[in-house]
A = this chain, B = another copy of it.
Amino acid sequence: MNQDYIKASPWSIIEEGFDRERVKSSESIFSLGNGAMGQRANFEEVYSGKTFQGSYIAGVYYPDKTRVGWWKNGYPEYFAKVLNAPNWIGINVWVNGEVLDLNTCKEVSGYRRELNMKEGWYKRSFSALLPNDAHIEVGVLRFLSLDMDELGAIRYEIKALDADLDIGFQPYLDSGVTNEDSNWDDKFWNTTEVVSTERQGFIQAHTMKTHFKTCTFMQSQLFLNGNLVDVFPEVEKKEQWVGHRYAHKLAKGEILALHKFGGYTVDRNHHGDELVQAAKTTLKKALELGFDTLLERQRSAWAEIWKMSDIAIEGDVKAQQGIRFNIFQLNQTYLGRDSRLNIGPKGFTGEKYGGSTYWDTEAYCLPFYMATKNQKVARNLLKYRYNHLEKAIENAQKLGFSNGAALYPMVTMNGEECHNEWEITFEEIHRNGAIAFAIYNYCRFTGDYSYIPEMGLEVLIGIARFWRQRANFSQLKNKYVILGVTGPNEYENNVNNNWYTNYLAKWCIDYTIAQLRKVKEGFPDDYRRVVGKTKLGDNEVSQWKKVADNMYFPYEEERGLFLQQDGFLDKELLTVAELPSSQRPINQKWSWDRILRSPYIKQADVLQGFYFFGDHFSEEELERHFDFYEPFTVHESSLSPCVHSILAAKLGRTEQAYTFYLRTSRLDLDDYNKEVEEGLHITSMAGTWLSIVEGFGGMGVLDDTLSFSPRIPEQWKSYSFNVNFRNSIIKVCVQKEVTEFEITGEEIVPILVNKKGLELVPGKKVEVRVS
C-alpha cells in the first residue's frame, strides 16, 4: 500500500518530492500511451538510479522460446513477449560540461510530476544543484499525440538559476535496448540502418523472428527564451545509436528549450520499405504545426474522449481521481481503431504477462468500449477473435480435439497460445465461454445482430464443438461432466465440474443452437455459407444438445448451493476473516499445495457466473451464493473486487460495494499489491468502470431495453456518466435523491429505471427518485 503518496486531485496524478525508491513505481503510474504506442515515464536525461526502461509499440512482439523446468506435451514453443522498443525520448543534458543525472545531483528540490489526464500530457519539473554546483530549473512536458499516433513530443526547458551556464542537449535514438524479461537473453532487435540528415535522425530496426519493421525517428528544435535558434546539430552515430548535439550559452534567468519530436513508423501501417519516408512526412507535419499547436490538438482530442467516457464524482476526490485514472489508462491503451490490436493486461506500462490478449478483454473490457465508444470499436474486439479462429482450431487440435473444435488461447498475440503452465494453458478453458458470451453481450447491447451471421456464428460453432468434445458422459452420474479444469479461481487447479465452466459450456451450446436457428431463418445465405464451411450436420447439433441438456452441476441440496467444483465442501471452511493477516496475501505466504487445498478464492468464480448471467438467478439465490463465497474470497486477482462490487450493489449493500470499488479503482495509485513498478493493471481498470456503471448505476439490458437501478454510496454527492446505447448518448447523473437522465441524438429511447419503463426524449431531462 502506498496510500496518500499520489496527491488527490480530480483531473491529475501528482507526485511531489524526489524519492529514488519510488522512481520505478512512478514510471508505471505516469505512463503515456495513444493506442498505437506507449511508454513508461522514464526520464529523458541520463538516470543512473534504479529504473525500468520501457517503450512499447502496439502489436510488436517477440516469440521468446519457452523455458520451463519440466516440459509437458502440448506446451507452446514460445511465449510472445511485449517488447521494449528503441528509445526515442532520450536527451543527454550537460550543464557546464557535467552530465545531468538526478541520481548524482547534490540537491534536487521542488520535484513534481503531473499526469494531466484531462489534456493528455505529462510534466516533470524540479530544481537541481549539480555536482559542479551548476544550479538549474528544469521543466519537461511530454505527450504522445492522439492526433498523429506515430508521433510524440517533448519540450525540455532549462533555466539558469544562479549564474550563466553552458548548456548541452543531445537528443538521441537508441535501438540497443533490452528487455527485462527474456528467457534466453536472445537479441530481440536487429538494427539495419542508422541514418542522420542535417536535422533528422532515423534508425531502422526489425524484431528478430517476427520481423516487424520499424523506423524510430526524431527531429529537434532549440529555443532561447521562446525564440527559435536556427542551428544545425553536431551529429554523432554509432551502430545502434544516433545523437544530435546542440550547445548554447545561457545567461542567468534565461530559458533554453529543446523541442524534440519523435516516434515510430511501423510496417503495420506502411510498406516496409517506406518507413523512413513516412517518418519524414510525420516530422514535416509536426514541425509545421509546432509543439504548441500539437499540444493544443492533444487537449482537444482528449476533450473529445472525455466528453463520452468521463465519470464525474462529486464529493469524493480520491474516488474521482481513481476512476478517471482508470478511464484515462484504458483510452491510452486501446482506442479500437485497429482490429489487429487488443488490450494487454499491462498495456504500455510494463512487460509482465507478455501477450496482449486474455479473456479479460471479453469479460471486462468489452462493456466499457461498447458504452463509451461507438459500436465499431467493440466490433473490432470481436473481429480480433474471428480473425484468430483458425489458430484456435489448430490450438485445439494440438490438444487432441478434432472436427473444427476451437480452443482460444489463454494468452496470445497472433492467435497462438503463449502460456505454459499446464493447469492454466490446458485447463483454464472457461476462456472459451467468455468469448461466446462477448458475442451475446455485444448483440444485446448494441442491437447489431449482423456480426453473428457474418462472423460470430463460425466462432460459436467452434466453441460449441469444443465443449461437446471436452465434456464426457459419466455413467455414475448419468450426466455429462467436465473433468480436469481450472476455473476463474486459479487457486484451484485440475478440478472436476467447476460450476462456472460447466454452466458456461451449457450456455454456449444452447446459445449457439439458438443462433443457428436464427441465422437460418433471417440470413439464409450466411447460414448456407457457414454450414458449408464448417461442414456442420444436424446430427452433430443434436449431439451438442444432448450434452447441454444433460450437463451436471455440482449442487448441495441442504444449503441450496451451487458448488464451485466437486468436493468443495470437503475443505476446511475457515473464512478469510479467520486467517491471520500475517498469512496474507496467501500467494506470497503459502506454498501452492496449501493454497489449493484451502477454501480461499482468488477471484470471483461461481459469482462470476452470477455476474454474467444475472437474469438467470433470483436475488435470493444471488444473496445465498454471495454470502457463502464472499467470505472465502481473498481477491488476490485485480479482476475480483469489481465483480463483488457490482454484486454487492445489486444486493443493496452499497457500503460494501463502495469498499470493493475503492480497492479496484485505486489498486495501482495506492499500490495495494506492492507491484505497481512492474506496470499497471490495465484490464482490471475496465472492471472499475463496471463497478460504477453496472454496479452503482445498475445498468443492464433487460428485454432489449436499457435498464438502470441507481444507488449512490454515502460518501458521494453525485456521480454521472454517459452511455452510448445504440448510437444514442444517454447521460446519467445519480444524486442522493434523484437520478437525472438526458439523451442526445435524434431518437426517443425507452429505458427501464428500477424496472419501470420511461422514455428518454432528446432535449428533455428526466428525473427519477432514487428508490
- Indicate with 1 or 0, residue by residue over A574-608, a CB within 8 angstroms of chain B CB atoms: 00000000000001111111111100000000000
Asked if A534 is at the interface (CB within 8 A of a chain B CB), the reply is no
CA gap between A404 and B151 in the complex, in Å: 63
Stretch binding the partner chain, chosen from A121-129, A474-482, A667-675: A474-482
CA gap between A664 and B361 in the complex, in Å: 52
A/B interface sample: 18 pairs, CB < 8 A: A66-B69, A67-B69, A68-B69, A73-B587, A73-B588, A74-B590, A399-B594, A400-B590, A423-B494, A426-B592, A474-B571, A475-B573, A484-B593, A484-B596, A493-B493, A493-B494, A494-B494, A566-B566
Q: In angstroms, how far is the closest chain B Cβ from the Cβ of A756?
A: 44
Q: In angstroms, how far is the closest chain B Cβ from the Cβ of A431?
A: 14
CA gap between A573 and B593 in the complex, in Å: 28
Measured between beta carbons, the chain B residues less than 8 angstroms from A427 are 593
CA gap between A592 and B68 in the complex, in Å: 14
Asked if A572 is at the interface (CB within 8 A of a chain B CB), the reply is yes
Residues 739-771 (chain A) with a chain B CB within 8 angstroms: none
CA gap between A400 and B570 in the complex, in Å: 20
CA gap between A190 and B431 in the complex, in Å: 51
CA gap between A570 and B480 in the complex, in Å: 9
Asked if A473 is at the interface (CB within 8 A of a chain B CB), the reply is yes
- Indicate with 1 or 0, residue by residue over A64-78, a CB within 8 angstroms of chain B CB atoms: 001111101110000
Residues 331-375 (chain A) with a chain B CB within 8 angstroms: none
- Indicate with 1 or 0, residue by residue over A450-478, a CB within 8 angstroms of chain B CB atoms: 00000000000000000000001111110
Nearest-CB residue, chain B, relative to A481: B570
CA gap between A582 and B550 in the complex, in Å: 32
Measured between beta carbons, the chain B residues less than 8 angstroms from A570 are 472, 474, 476-477, 481, 483, 496
Asked if A567 is at the interface (CB within 8 A of a chain B CB), the reply is yes
Asked if A228 is at the interface (CB within 8 A of a chain B CB), the reply is no
Q: In angstroms, how far is the closest chain B Cβ from the Cβ of A416?
A: 15
Asked if A737 is at the interface (CB within 8 A of a chain B CB), the reply is no
- Indicate with 1 or 0, residue by residue over A397-425, a CB within 8 angstroms of chain B CB atoms: 01110000000000000000000111100
Q: How many residues of A contact B (CB 8 A)?
A: 48
CA gap between A586 and B493 in the complex, in Å: 21
Q: Which of B400, B493, B572 contacts A591 (CB 8 A)?
A: B400
Q: In angstroms, how far is the closest chain B Cβ from the Cβ of A496?
A: 5
Given A473-B572, A494-B493, the answer on whether A426 and B567 have CB atoms closer than 8 Å is: no
Given A420-B69, A591-B400, the answer on whether A569 and B484 have CB atoms closer than 8 Å is: no
CA gap between A589 and B74 in the complex, in Å: 9
Nearest-CB residue, chain B, relative to A429: B593
- Indicate with 1 or 0, residue by residue over A484-497, a CB within 8 angstroms of chain B CB atoms: 10000000011110
Nearest-CB residue, chain B, relative to A586: B73
Q: In angstroms, how far is the closest chain B Cβ from the Cβ of A400?
A: 5
Measured between beta carbons, the chain B residues less than 8 angstroms from A587 are 73
A73 in contact with B472 (CB, 8 Å): no
B426 in contact with A569 (CB, 8 Å): no
CA gap between A586 and B496 in the complex, in Å: 21
- Indicate with 1 or 0, residue by residue over A59-92, a CB within 8 angstroms of chain B CB atoms: 0000000111110111000000000000000000
CA gap between A398 and B483 in the complex, in Å: 31
Nearest-CB residue, chain B, relative to A493: B494
Measured between beta carbons, the chain B residues less than 8 angstroms from A594 are 399-400
Q: Which of B73, B483, B572 contacts A592 (CB 8 A)?
A: B73
- Indicate with 1 or 0, residue by residue over A34-47, a CB within 8 angstroms of chain B CB atoms: 00000000000000
